Homo-oligomer: A and B are copies of this chain.
Amino acid sequence: MSHLNIKLENIAYNYNLLKEKVSPNALCASVIKANAYGIGAKQAMKILQQAGCKDFFVALLDEALDLHEISKDNLFMLHGIDNNKEAKVVHHHNIIPVLNDHHQISIYNDYAKILGKKLPAILHFDTGMGRLGLDLDDVQKIINNNFIDYKYIMSHLACADEPQHPHNQQQLQMLKKLRRFFPNSKVSFANSSGVFLGKDYHFDLVRPGCALYGINPTPGQPNPMKQVVTANARIVQRRILQKDQHIGYGSTHLAKKGNQILVAGYGYADGYPRSLSNFGKCYAQGQYLDIIGRVSMDLLIIDASAVPEQTFQSIKHVEIFGDNIKIDDLASQAKVIAYEILTGMGKRTLRNYL
């Protein structure tokens, strides 16, 4: 059947490569939200723990609850808490919330006050991302939350994948100002691309995500990371056309008599972009093969006329992306980003962890 081969050792390799890039004083966390970008959060967490990672980030409470049993050290939850019940749940499961606004802070502080002890959190400031986090003007109001132990203050880079973008420096300067108000808190700033902006950006904890899973954190430069996922589609049928024939929904492609056609069990329900209809390529037997006709929900149609007939009849799988079709290239062809390809990978495709 169609399957994803996931090289866990390459996640460990990528983690170690990032760690080497980072200031010796800074910790290297791992972002494993969205099921570790579609790869499998539990499997990713275990291999990253073996590689020495002790700090993990997810987005949602449900994601944290799925992982807290295998979490040994710090499990941080980016979206924070919305009510007293969620405060209780994170506390009971040793999950450390990122607090993004006064509403979240006051809920957590009130909960801790009744408990009578300080609880750990990360305080999130928006230095220019314009998404989650507190404004700088809020600093004064925050310093009186006596029942929260702000382990870290954090912020998030908006343009880290464009090293020359002036916003990077502006965000950095703002964060440096902010940290003076929190002399007892450590600082976390860099995402994957931020790691490559240099040691100024590393502070005490970096938070790479995409680079762990093989996405290029330095667009426009060679990708220093190893590919983690190879997607292979099972061939459901091999056909040699007995006459000229229209292919797929809408009859958008005319294939010729004698063409060797592979029908592969992989479609947009498995995460393959339908926008690559009549445009994308697969790989088999040393050849790049054209996708012809529209991509359907469960099937791709491929012209394999370039392959010798005997070889053609023996093809069991084609590579959708992996060693020969880089995920970043596939994404750019589909005018999406590699993150979308990874997180969109199908729910019904077998994952082989190697």
Residues of A within 8 A of B (CB): 1, 33-35, 37-38, 59-63, 78-80, 82, 100-101, 103-104, 128-132, 135, 137, 158-159, 162, 165, 167, 234, 236-239, 242, 245-251, 253, 255, 261, 263, 265, 268-269, 271, 274-275, 293, 296-299, 301, 335-337, 339-340, 343-344, 347-348, 350
Among all A-B residue pairs, the 9 with the closest Cβ atoms: A130-B247, A34-B269, A269-B343, A59-B298, A130-B245, A79-B236, A101-B237, A268-B340, A100-B237
A165 and B62 CA atoms in complex are apart in Å by 48
In the complex with contacts A101-B237, A131-B301, A265-B60, A158-B275 CB distance below 8 A: no
Closest residue of chain B to A160 (Cβ to Cβ) is: B249
**Most chain B CB atoms below 10 A, which of A238, A250, A271:** A250
Select A297's contact among B159, B234, B298, B339, beta carbons within 8 Å. Answer: B339
In the bound complex, residues from chain B placing their C-beta under 8 Å from that of A245 are 128, 130
A298 and B248 CA atoms in complex are apart in Å by 34
Q: Do B248 and A129 touch across chains, with their CB atoms under 8 A apart?
A: yes
Q: Do B263 and A60 touch across chains, with their CB atoms under 8 A apart?
A: no
What's the minimum C-beta distance from A166 to chain B, rounded to whole angstroms? 10
A288 and B253 CA atoms in complex are apart in Å by 39
In the bound complex, residues from chain B placing their C-beta under 8 Å from that of A236 are 79-80, 82, 100, 132
A129 and B255 CA atoms in complex are apart in Å by 12
A103 and B82 CA atoms in complex are apart in Å by 57
Q: Do B247 and A298 touch across chains, with their CB atoms under 8 A apart?
A: no
Select A336's contact among B103, B269, B275, B339, beta carbons within 8 Å. Answer: B275
Counted per complex, copies of this chain come to 2
Q: Do B268 and A343 touch across chains, with their CB atoms under 8 A apart?
A: yes
Q: Do B274 and A337 touch across chains, with their CB atoms under 8 A apart?
A: yes
A131 and B293 CA atoms in complex are apart in Å by 9
In the bound complex, residues from chain B placing their C-beta under 8 Å from that of A103 are 237-238
In the bound complex, residues from chain B placing their C-beta under 8 Å from that of A131 are 247-248, 263, 293, 296, 299, 301
In the bound complex, residues from chain B placing their C-beta under 8 Å from that of A132 are 236-237, 263, 299
A246 and B129 CA atoms in complex are apart in Å by 7
Q: Do A158 and B60 touch across chains, with their CB atoms under 8 A apart?
A: no
Closest residue of chain B to A335 (Cβ to Cβ) is: B275
Select A60's contact among B35, B79, B298, beta carbons within 8 Å. Answer: B298
Q: Do B298 and A78 touch across chains, with their CB atoms under 8 A apart?
A: yes
Closest residue of chain B to A253 (Cβ to Cβ) is: B130
Closest residue of chain B to A135 (Cβ to Cβ) is: B242
What's the minimum C-beta distance from A124 to chain B, rounded to whole angstroms? 10
In the bound complex, residues from chain B placing their C-beta under 8 Å from that of A162 are 250
A251 and B128 CA atoms in complex are apart in Å by 8
Q: Do B158 and A250 touch across chains, with their CB atoms under 8 A apart?
A: yes
Closest residue of chain B to A316 (Cβ to Cβ) is: B82
Q: Do B297 and A251 touch across chains, with their CB atoms under 8 A apart?
A: no
Closest residue of chain B to A342 (Cβ to Cβ) is: B269
In the bound complex, residues from chain B placing their C-beta under 8 Å from that of A1 are 60-62
In the bound complex, residues from chain B placing their C-beta under 8 Å from that of A59 are 265, 297-298
Q: Do B297 and A158 touch across chains, with their CB atoms under 8 A apart?
A: no
In the bound complex, residues from chain B placing their C-beta under 8 Å from that of A255 are 130
Q: Do B301 and A340 touch across chains, with their CB atoms under 8 A apart?
A: no
Closest residue of chain B to A79 (Cβ to Cβ) is: B236
What are 7 A-B pairs with beta-carbon distances under 8 A?
A34-B298, A128-B246, A131-B299, A158-B250, A268-B339, A268-B340, A347-B347
